[in-house]
Amino acid sequence: MAYYDGFLSTPKMSLGKKLLHMHWLFVILLTLTASIGFAMLYSAAGGDLDPWASRQMVRFAIGILGMLVIAVTDIRLWLRYAYVFYFGVLALLVAVEIAGFVGMGAQRWISLGAFNVQPSELMKIALVLALARYFHGASIDDVGRFLFLLPPVLMIAIPSALILRQPDLGTTLMLGLVGVAMFFAAGVRMWVFGLGALLAMIAAPVAWFTLLRDYQKQRILTFLNPETDTLGSGYHIIQSKIALGSGGMFGKGYMLGTQSHLNFLPEKQTDFIFTMLAEEFGLVGGLTLLFLYFLLLMYGLVISVSSRNHFGRLVGLGVTASFFLYVFINIAMVMGLIPVVGVPLPLVSYGGTVMLTLLFGFGLLLGVHIHREMTIGRRDSGDEF
């Protein structure tokens, strides 16, 4: 049996063969979903490509090209440099703490010359790669040992603490939930999740009084009873519910939504874009978008479980879990089912770093599909890293 730099060698695939094995239906579904976003951003601007739709189209085009490059890259390179990428993004989070600039009331961005980057979004992918790298080499006995789980817990906790300080409660929650999903996919014992839930309940009162900002507490209180402050903290969610209900079955028509176009609906191009879609296209339009998301999620799961190597399975499941959390949290938020935490609707909401990060993740997922027959050495089978 031949080895290559510690990894089990497999027949090298040509670029043409990799493109042939690309999951093109998945790429088409991504494009259809993003196109809905372009249309809604055009509507949000009152029938103008500027300032949102045109920029989003450019970012998507760049992101798709990058996604295809990532997809055809040998998956073993992502395994080899997973920790390098993770610590690089962690360094950017520290840099945000030191020299980041404030936007929309939060210090989340850092300037890298010609463009600005939101490292907290990149950390969602970096964490998936790092945890997949860590658990890839683990045996069944390893994941049952408490001390073995301390390093991945720190991998989640350290960036989460930095992101919470920005402050960005939504991304912090997503990072923690993605970590939980990775632990579950890696086969961590259920008692660990039970212990984690118990510790979370104990820590919740402490977090309320010491970690959460006043406006974050107010968001939670408003979620419980938005009618207590209809013109203040409860205004956003009340207007969102009005817009959702007024859309009816088929909506008011494209660019004819009153709540959004009369500016009653806040952040219609980002957090509340699903509300605008539901107002203009009704229940049918909302369910159509949800069906596209469902197909993407199902393909993500199928791609993940079809991988012969553990690293690919973990990366695929991590990316799919992250995508699901984007969809679930945003839609539940605008419907008033959970507090407003500022999570965008994937591929539809306006945002550069979010769009490119999502396509980065999908590139990894497509790479898992292309290299699904590749077998990679693991420590428990005698291979060395």
Q: In this predicted structure, what is the pLDDT of residue 71?
A: 96
Whether 19 and 46 share a structural domain: yes
Whether 367 and 239 share a structural domain: yes
Question: Among residues of the chain, what percentage have pLDDT more than 70?
Answer: 89
Question: Does some domain include residue 186?
Answer: yes
Whether 173 and 246 share a structural domain: no
What mean pLDDT is predicted for residues 63-80? 95
41-45, 95-99, 120-124, 233-237: segment of lowest average pLDDT? 233-237
Domain count, the chain: 2
Whether 155 and 281 share a structural domain: no
> Which domain does 105 fall in, by range?
81-212
pLDDT higher than 50, residue 381: no
pLDDT higher than 60, residue 9: no
Task: Determine contact, residues 363/69, Cβ cutoff 8 Å.
Answer: yes
Q: What is the pLDDT of residues 150-175, one digit of tens each?
A: 999 999 999 999 998 887 888 899 99
**Which amino acid type is present at position 211?**
L
Query: Higher confidence at residue 36 or residue 95?
Result: 36
Whether 122 and 208 share a structural domain: yes
Query: Higher confidence at residue 261 or residue 130?
Result: 130
| Cα 38 from Cα 245, distance rounded (Å) | 23
Whether 35 and 128 share a structural domain: no
**pLDDT bucket at 5, cuts 50 / 70 / 90:** very low
Whether 259 and 328 share a structural domain: yes
Whether 60 and 167 share a structural domain: no
pLDDT higher than 90, residue 282: yes
Question: Does some domain include residue 318?
Answer: yes
What mean pLDDT is predicted for residues 369-384? 67
pLDDT higher than 80, residue 43: yes
Q: What is the pLDDT of residues 321-370, one digit of tens each?
A: 999 999 999 999 999 888 888 789 999 999 888 999 999 999 999 999 99
Question: Does some domain include residue 381?
Answer: no
Nearest CA among 52, 28, 32, 33 for reference residue 41: 52
pLDDT higher than 80, residue 209: no
Question: Does some domain include residue 382?
Answer: no
Q: What is the pLDDT of residues 175-192, one digit of tens each?
A: 999 999 999 999 888 888
pLDDT higher than 80, residue 40: yes
Question: Does some domain include residue 356?
Answer: yes
Q: In this predicted structure, what is the pLDDT of residue 383?
A: 42
Q: In this predicted structure, what is the pLDDT of residue 103?
A: 60
SS (H, E, C) the chain: CCEECCEECCCCCCHHHHHHCCCHHHHHHHHHHHHHHHHHHHHHCCCCCCCCHHHHHHHHHHHHHHHHHHHHCCHHHHHHCHHHHHHHHHHHHHHHHHHCEEECCEEEEEECCCCEECHHHHHHHHHHHHHHHHHHCCCCCHHHCCHHHHHHHHHHHHHHHHHHCCCCHHHHHHHHHHHHHHHHHCCCCHHHHHHHHHHHHHHHHHHHHHCCCHHHHHHHHHHHCHHHHCCCCCHHHHHHHHHHHHCCCCCCCCCCCHHHHCCCCCCCCCCCHHHHHHHHHHHHHHHHHHHHHHHHHHHHHHHHHCCCCHHHHHHHHHHHHHHHHHHHHHHHHHCCCCCCCCCCCCCCCCCHHHHHHHHHHHHHHHHHHHCCCCCCCCHHHCCCC
Q: In this predicted structure, what is the pLDDT of residue 4?
A: 36
Query: Higher confidence at residue 227 or residue 187?
Result: 187
Whether 53 and 98 share a structural domain: no
Whether 89 and 187 share a structural domain: yes
Whether 200 and 236 share a structural domain: no
User: Hey, which of 140-144, 207-211, 293-297 has the most confident mean pLDDT?
Assistant: 293-297
Query: Higher confidence at residue 315 or residue 194?
Result: 315
Nearest CA among 64, 37, 30, 33 for reference residue 53: 37
What's the mean per-residue pLDDT of the chain?
86
Question: Does some domain include residue 8?
Answer: no
**pLDDT bucket at 105, cuts 50 / 70 / 90:** low
Q: In this predicted structure, what is the pLDDT of residue 6?
A: 41
pLDDT higher than 60, residue 385: no
Question: Does some domain include residue 4?
Answer: no
Query: Higher confidence at residue 120 or residue 230?
Result: 120
Q: In this predicted structure, what is the pLDDT of residue 102?
A: 63
Question: Does some domain include residue 30?
Answer: yes
